A and B are shown apart, each in its own frame.
Chain A
Amino acid sequence: MSTPRGEIPKTGSGRGGHMTVTSRVGAAECGGTDTPVLEVRDLDVAFPSESGRVHAVRGVSFDLEAGEVLGIVGESGSGKSVSSLALMGLLPEEAQVGGSARLRGQELLGKRDSELSRLRGRKVSMIFQDPLSALTPVYTIGEQLVEAIRTHRDTSGRDAMTRAVELLRMVGVPNAEERVNSFPHEFSGGMRQRVVIAMAIANEPDVIIADEPTTALDVTIQAQVLEVLRRVQRATGAALIMITHDLGVIAGLADRVMVMYAGRPVEVADVDDLYRRPRMPYTLGLLGAVPRADDRERLPLTPVDGNPPSMVDLPPGCPFAPRCPMAVATCRRTEPELLAVDSARHRAACHRSDVLAERDLAPGDIFPRPQTTGAGVGPDRREQRPAVLEVSELAKHFPVLKGTVIKRPVGTVYAVDGVGFDIREGEALALVGESGCGKTTTLMQVLELAAPQQGAISVLGSSTAELGRRDRKRLRQRMQVVFQDPMSSLDPRMPVGEIVGEPLRTHGSDAAATAKRVRELLELVGLRASHADRYPRQFSGGQRQRIGIARALALDPQLLILDEPVSALDVSIQAGVINLLEELRANLNLSYLFVAHDLSVVHHICDRIAVMYLGKLAEIGSVDAVFNTPAHPYTQALLSAVPLPDPARERTRERILLDGDLPSPADPPSGCRFRTRCPKFAVLDADSKQRCIDEEPPMYDRGTDHGAACHYAESLEVL
């Protein structure tokens, strides 16, 4: 694994401009094959805090070989980001850092900031999660790249600018010569992250640390950026530390994976071993908790109960023991060392890993798989069941206004432009698409219960255009919403009992009845009734989302609108909420409108799926039809971009990478809106192309409950 990748780097744009980089690979090869680039030993970080000393990182050791990609996976609070910040010397002053980190033999920890500054960017560089705040808005990206280059190198401004253009080309920014003079705000999120990557490799560092580099990006953009990262890493021969919570992203990128829990690595292994033969219950738990887009059976997920421990006063023993179904007395007494299992390269910190190894257990074997009574869809065919929500030809246009005193319209944003779908009783429909596709606008239109600009919305048979104030309020009881962010969707200044009871009080329930119902609801979602007089802040993210769900269920609604309800949660917690949602749907005969960007989650929860692109539906149909035989080129690209937590499949999968970004909804392309990025359009002959340009594709029916809005739709298996 220590062999540096000496292959000739390829640049995606194919326009060359990587000469300097090629020579760098040679240097890396000479630099030594056996000694690791980065040796971390017993890294330990603690922060003083009001409630005590927060021991965020408790002894992390690893070697990073040249050209190696090490993935660090863990949930929030596991210490993965803090470790990397400690290596970069970027922690706040009050942090107490112990241990050792040697970069090519040179100790990094304990160095003064000015000394570290000379190394940062030149030897080690970092890519942060948020590309928006990683670039200074008032300088052009060229200036920022030049600054990055000239800080560490004595070159003329002109040479540095040439190099900047070269770097931009390398990360696949089109028209690099022109775009180098643009400001960050003129770039989309994905493009900005490319610029950040360009800055990170500007001085050909030995180590690149990427902290959740694609978490803020859409799935097709994520695929692009990961591709760039992979290419750049190979081209520069740098070692890459990839920090993420997403097991799918790591699977396709890393050579080796380290799983962290409560500030310590609990398992380290080569990527295939880790996914195929996990030897630590926590890793198993994580793998069992991830919904998979390619899972045909859709068994209930295996959530890991409980919450990660507080890092202030850790009790003795394995920190995972309270959540571990295999814990024995020893686990609660002594904390296990990270020891070799199976082979020297596979190490796990678990007293029971020998049992796991011996019996080769899978997640479902050790974590209790909750029993569900199957999906809530009744025996009738969907056409026979009554519709709870019908949306037809819905459009919402926002005027673009200009002028300070007198605002005059100068254009129109076609946020939603003719969307139609229906949800039958007991059914879950997912509305998916990337940011800017109009799914949130659609959702808000439905929630407002007001007459839409164009088209019609009808909830439980009554059209929103004909509702009076009273009717609207009555209808609100039947339709409730759960929001994405469990932190901000609960009033921080209200006790939980009042939050859950608010819809009841609003619709005229008296105090005693409300109190009784609140107790029932809290228990229904897996909380305790005595929690009612606590404030939301005293709960963890998963619990808060359960409170949000309890509030939505208070009035016995028939339709629940879920706006990305699990995307803010950690994997092991997310699984519990997904299972809860499935269970509730089955038991209470609910219908869901599930808005999400995570296709794996959607695949798990929903019966039907509607894919949106630029204000229009691209494809709609049953989950099986759409996932197994996607017909619209956009759906195919979207599905092929979904990372799978399976290294072997990730390596062999072919991704359909889309070019560029979403066009502006203020100026959508004529005809088919997807044609500007469509891989199919690109290979059509001129006549066929003309049809895409002139004629807007209607929703072509593709058999039972499946439709695609493409003139040349063809099924393709991508998962």
Chain B
Amino acid sequence: MVEPGRTVSALEADEVADGDVEEPEPAGIPRRRLVFRRFLRNRMALVGLVVIVLLFAIAYLGHYLTPWDYNEQDFTSFLEPPSAEHWFGTTRTGGDVFALTMRGLQKSLVIGLLVGLIATGFATVIGTFAAYYGGAVDRVLMWGVDLLLVLPAFLVIAVLSPTFQGTTWLMFVALLALFSWMVPARAIRAMTFSVKEQPYVQAARFMGVSGPRIVFRHIIPNISSFIIIDATLQVGFAVIAEAGLSYFGFGVQPPDVSLGTLISDGARSAISYPWLFLFAGGALVLFVLAVNFVGDGLRDALDPDAEGGSR
């Protein structure tokens, strides 16, 4: 009596709706691999990554390209513009700007990336755990944050740096990182509060997933956009902060140089002797830009809503 009922199972109907016939793949590619795949598809991010690698390569291998060393002086040429002999020109004291920039780049790349990673990592862990566990944990951690916020970072570093004089400049990285994670930690804590209330976090909790696992698997990926943006900002900030401190005699000391010291020295005569400033400044801009591209790529790779999200 009835039309031959075309019984469509949910499966088939779905196939019709999707319109795609794909190879039956093994269920469940781990998220890490998926993210990696999606990252590689992002051209700008790959460019950024290549630029960073190239910057590292040239920073460490650059001195093989030129006969000049960063602490050598050419007493025959002072304040010369770029030439075949001195690719980036020379300084007031006859230093080779190319060699100096490469040397500075070595320091700044490491300082920038390390401070960015350490500070953001610290901020993420403290912020998420404080918010996730709440109560006493939150209060104690936030006391720590507030304490560090009210301490004048500059003074503390100034007081502490004679103690570390002669030890490795990596100590300086630690100090910079120590004073730059509090504000992002507060922001991350606030974001965690809203993510924590999401049903998927509750679902994980009622499944028996442990607290730290929930934080790392569910909460951090869901606020990763902010974390990544913060990390890229921190990188640029660290390079500049280092310059400021070095200027006052802490941090990288002459004859050693960093991009920061080069920029602050060169900036004064940026108009009349632009090569003193431009190359170091350009390297910094290139570096920060590359980090930003990588950051954006990572963010999009982690965010399924981003363009190109569907495989």
Interfacial chain A residues near B14, Cβ < 8 Å: 306, 527-528, 543
The answer to whether A518 touches B28, judged by C-beta atoms less than 8 angstroms apart, is: yes
| CB contact between A492 and one of B31, B210, B305 (< 8 Å): that residue | B305
The answer to whether A502 touches B209, judged by C-beta atoms less than 8 angstroms apart, is: yes
Q: B165 on the interface (CB 8 Å rule)?
A: no
Interfacial chain A residues near B2, Cβ < 8 Å: 359, 361, 365-366
| CB contact between A534 and one of B3, B213, B311 (< 8 Å): that residue | B311
Q: B134 on the interface (CB 8 Å rule)?
A: no
Q: B255 on the interface (CB 8 Å rule)?
A: no
Q: Tell me how far the C-beta of B308 lies from the nearest C-beta in chain A, rounded to whole angstroms.
A: 12
Q: Which residue of A lies closest to B222 (CB)?
A: A493
A493 to B2 CA separation, bound complex (whole angstroms): 46
Residue interface bits A103-135, CB-to-B below 8 A is 1, else 0: 000000000000000000000000000000000
Q: Which residue of B lies closest to A534 (CB)?
A: B311
The answer to whether B10 touches A498, judged by C-beta atoms less than 8 angstroms apart, is: no
* Stretch of A198-206, A229-237, A240-248, A481-489 contacting B (4+ beta carbons < 8 Å): A481-489
Q: Which residue of B lies closest to A521 (CB)?
A: B27
Q: Which residue of A lies closest to B310 (CB)?
A: A538
The answer to whether B10 touches A526, judged by C-beta atoms less than 8 angstroms apart, is: yes
Interface residues of B in 12-41 (CB under 8 A from A): 13-17, 22-31, 34
The answer to whether B202 touches A306, judged by C-beta atoms less than 8 angstroms apart, is: no
Interfacial chain A residues near B67, Cβ < 8 Å: none
Interfacial chain A residues near B27, Cβ < 8 Å: 497, 515, 518-519, 522, 529-530, 532-533
Q: Tell me how far the C-beta of B23 lies from the nearest C-beta in chain A, rounded to whole angstroms.
A: 8
| CB contact between A506 and one of B5, B7, B199, B207 (< 8 Å): that residue | B207
A155 to B14 CA separation, bound complex (whole angstroms): 60
A518 to B29 CA separation, bound complex (whole angstroms): 11
Q: B155 on the interface (CB 8 Å rule)?
A: no
Q: B135 on the interface (CB 8 Å rule)?
A: no
Interface residues of A in 299-341 (CB under 8 A from B): 305-307, 322-323, 325-327
The answer to whether B206 touches A447, judged by C-beta atoms less than 8 angstroms apart, is: yes
The answer to whether A533 touches B17, judged by C-beta atoms less than 8 angstroms apart, is: no
Interface residues of A in 498-538 (CB under 8 A from B): 498, 500-503, 506-507, 514-515, 518-519, 522, 526-530, 532-538
Q: Which residue of B lies closest to A473 (CB)?
A: B208
Q: Which residue of B lies closest to A580 (CB)?
A: B10
Q: B204 on the interface (CB 8 Å rule)?
A: yes
Q: B303 on the interface (CB 8 Å rule)?
A: yes
Q: Tell me how far the C-beta of B297 lies from the nearest C-beta in chain A, rounded to whole angstroms.
A: 16
Interfacial chain A residues near B17, Cβ < 8 Å: 306-307, 322
Q: B203 on the interface (CB 8 Å rule)?
A: yes
A674 to B224 CA separation, bound complex (whole angstroms): 49
Q: Tell me how far the C-beta of B211 lies from the nearest C-beta in chain A, rounded to whole angstroms.
A: 12
Most chain A CB within a 10 A radius of its CB, from B9, B14, B206, B309: B206
Q: Tell me how far the C-beta of B181 lies from the nearest C-beta in chain A, rounded to whole angstroms.
A: 23
Interfacial chain B residues near A538, Cβ < 8 Å: 304, 310
- What size tier do the contact residues of chain A reach? 35 or more
Q: A45 on the interface (CB 8 Å rule)?
A: no
The answer to whether A488 touches B200, judged by C-beta atoms less than 8 angstroms apart, is: yes
Interfacial chain A residues near B198, Cβ < 8 Å: 488
The answer to whether A476 touches B8, judged by C-beta atoms less than 8 angstroms apart, is: no
A483 to B207 CA separation, bound complex (whole angstroms): 13
| CB contact between A533 and one of B25, B203, B210, B221 (< 8 Å): that residue | B25
A491 to B305 CA separation, bound complex (whole angstroms): 12
The answer to whether B3 touches A366, judged by C-beta atoms less than 8 angstroms apart, is: yes
Q: A283 on the interface (CB 8 Å rule)?
A: no
Interfacial chain A residues near B16, Cβ < 8 Å: 306, 322
Q: A679 on the interface (CB 8 Å rule)?
A: no
Q: A357 on the interface (CB 8 Å rule)?
A: no
Q: Which residue of A lies closest to B224 (CB)?
A: A493
Interfacial chain A residues near B30, Cβ < 8 Å: 498
Interfacial chain A residues near B1, Cβ < 8 Å: 359, 365
Q: Tell me how far the C-beta of A502 lies from the nearest C-beta in chain B, rounded to whole angstroms.
A: 6
Q: Tell me how far the C-beta of A476 lies from the nearest C-beta in chain B, rounded to whole angstroms.
A: 4
Q: Tell me how far the C-beta of B179 lies from the nearest C-beta in chain A, rounded to whole angstroms.
A: 29
Interfacial chain B residues near A507, Cβ < 8 Å: 208
A488 to B198 CA separation, bound complex (whole angstroms): 6
The answer to whether A491 touches B221, judged by C-beta atoms less than 8 angstroms apart, is: yes
The answer to whether B28 touches A483, judged by C-beta atoms less than 8 angstroms apart, is: no
Interface residues of B in 227-273 (CB under 8 A from A): none
The answer to whether B13 touches A305, judged by C-beta atoms less than 8 angstroms apart, is: yes
Interfacial chain B residues near A323, Cβ < 8 Å: 8, 13
| CB contact between B8 and one of A306, A503, A548 (< 8 Å): that residue | A306
The answer to whether A532 touches B28, judged by C-beta atoms less than 8 angstroms apart, is: yes
The answer to whether A498 touches B31, judged by C-beta atoms less than 8 angstroms apart, is: yes
| CB contact between B199 and one of A326, A489, A522 (< 8 Å): that residue | A489
The answer to whether B10 touches A477, judged by C-beta atoms less than 8 angstroms apart, is: no
The answer to whether B11 touches A528, judged by C-beta atoms less than 8 angstroms apart, is: yes
Knowing A366-B3, A483-B199, the reply to whether A501 touches B13 (Cβ < 8 A) is no
The answer to whether A515 touches B221, judged by C-beta atoms less than 8 angstroms apart, is: no
Q: Tell me how far the C-beta of B192 lies from the nearest C-beta in chain A, rounded to whole angstroms.
A: 14
Interfacial chain A residues near B305, Cβ < 8 Å: 492, 537
Interfacial chain A residues near B26, Cβ < 8 Å: 515
Q: A368 on the interface (CB 8 Å rule)?
A: yes
The answer to whether A327 touches B310, judged by C-beta atoms less than 8 angstroms apart, is: no
Interface residues of B in 257-311 (CB under 8 A from A): 302-305, 309-311
Q: Tell me how far the C-beta of A314 lies from the nearest C-beta in chain B, rounded to whole angstroms.
A: 13
Q: A551 on the interface (CB 8 Å rule)?
A: yes
The answer to whether B29 touches A533, judged by C-beta atoms less than 8 angstroms apart, is: yes
The answer to whether A491 touches B208, judged by C-beta atoms less than 8 angstroms apart, is: no
The answer to whether A492 touches B304, judged by C-beta atoms less than 8 angstroms apart, is: yes
| CB contact between A477 and one of B200, B208, B304 (< 8 Å): that residue | B208
Q: Which residue of A lies closest to B220 (CB)?
A: A493
Q: Tell me how far the C-beta of A91 lies from the nearest C-beta in chain B, rounded to whole angstroms.
A: 24
A453 to B3 CA separation, bound complex (whole angstroms): 60
| CB contact between B304 and one of A355, A515, A522, A535 (< 8 Å): that residue | A535
Q: Tell me how far the C-beta of B83 lies from the nearest C-beta in chain A, rounded to whole angstroms.
A: 51
Knowing A366-B3, A515-B26, A522-B27, the reply to whether A485 touches B13 (Cβ < 8 A) is no
The answer to whether B303 touches A481, judged by C-beta atoms less than 8 angstroms apart, is: no
Interfacial chain B residues near A569, Cβ < 8 Å: none
Q: Which residue of A lies closest to B208 (CB)?
A: A476
Q: A239 on the interface (CB 8 Å rule)?
A: no
Q: Tell me how far the C-beta of B204 lies from the nearest C-beta in chain A, rounded to whole angstroms.
A: 7
The answer to whether B28 touches A498, judged by C-beta atoms less than 8 angstroms apart, is: yes
Q: A495 on the interface (CB 8 Å rule)?
A: yes
Q: B218 on the interface (CB 8 Å rule)?
A: yes
A552 to B209 CA separation, bound complex (whole angstroms): 13
| CB contact between B302 and one of A493, A518, A528 (< 8 Å): that residue | A493
Interfacial chain A residues near B221, Cβ < 8 Å: 491, 493-494
Knowing A306-B17, A538-B310, the reply to whether A489 touches B206 (Cβ < 8 A) is no
Q: A84 on the interface (CB 8 Å rule)?
A: no
Interfacial chain B residues near A285, Cβ < 8 Å: none
Interfacial chain B residues near A368, Cβ < 8 Å: 5, 7
Interfacial chain A residues near B11, Cβ < 8 Å: 526-528
Q: Tell me how far the C-beta of B215 lies from the nearest C-beta in chain A, rounded to whole angstroms.
A: 13
Interfacial chain A residues near B34, Cβ < 8 Å: 495, 533
Task: List A residues at the B interface (Cβ < 8 Å).
Answer: 305-307, 322-323, 325-327, 355, 359, 361, 365-368, 447, 472-473, 476-477, 480-481, 483-485, 488-495, 497-498, 500-503, 506-507, 514-515, 518-519, 522, 526-530, 532-538, 543, 548, 551, 576
Given A325-B7, A506-B213, A543-B14, 13 other A-B residues pairs in contact with their CB atoms under 8 A:
A305-B13, A322-B17, A491-B221, A493-B31, A493-B222, A501-B28, A506-B207, A515-B26, A528-B11, A533-B25, A533-B27, A534-B311, A538-B310
Nearest 9 Cβ contacts at the A-B interface? A497-B28, A535-B304, A532-B27, A526-B10, A306-B13, A476-B208, A489-B199, A532-B28, A493-B221
Task: List B residues at the A interface (Cβ < 8 Å).
Answer: 1-3, 5-11, 13-17, 22-31, 34, 198-200, 202-204, 206-210, 213, 217-218, 221-222, 224, 302-305, 309-311
Cβ contacts A to B, 11 pairs, < 8 Å? A322-B16, A366-B2, A366-B5, A472-B208, A483-B203, A492-B304, A493-B303, A494-B217, A495-B28, A502-B217, A551-B207
